[in-house]
Amino acid sequence: MGFLTRWIVAFFLIAATYNPTPYNYVTWVMTNWPDLMSVTVLFGLLLFVGYVIYLRATLRSIGVFGMGLVLAIAAAMIWVLSDLGLLGLENRNSLLWIGIISLSLVLGIGLSWSLIRRRLSGQVDIDDVDEND
């Protein structure tokens, strides 16, 4: 499972929780809470497990400082694209999608960081297990 797959799963996790369309968990809960309480709690717990997996791995691999650094780089890239006229920031929905993409990049990089570092440096983490088992 490469970085792209980890990033796409993180993107769908965040977008499934909330996005500017009516197709997200938050909107669905607000309309279906009284009638489908058990299903909304089940889906909420499944999303929570996904966040725990991603956040725990991200905090272990790059930490809070690394998360802030990745977000700062994403913000700088957005700033450059805006200054070059390639990205308009007037639309609220566009800003929400940019935020979702930025947060999913943080989680995708966090989950993949030990693999990226191993490929770049050739060093293996103590936590790494032989992948041939």
Which tokens sit at 83? 């200054």
Residue-level pLDDT at 117: 75
**Which residue ranges of the chain lie beneath pLDDT 50?**
133
Alpha-carbon distance of 112 to 101, in angstroms, equals 16
Which tokens sit at 123? 């060093």
Residue-level pLDDT at 22: 94
Q: List the domain boundaries for the chain.
A: 3-121
SS3 2: coil
Residue-level pLDDT at 52: 96
Summarised one tens digit per residue, pLDDT across range 42-56 is 999 999 999 999 999
Residue-level pLDDT at 121: 78
Through-space distance between the first and last CA atoms of the chain, rounded to whole angstroms: 16
Amino acid identity for residue 2 in this structure: G
Residue-level pLDDT at 3: 85
Amino acid identity for residue 67 in this structure: M
Summarised one tens digit per residue, pLDDT across range 86-106 is 888 888 898 899 999 999 999
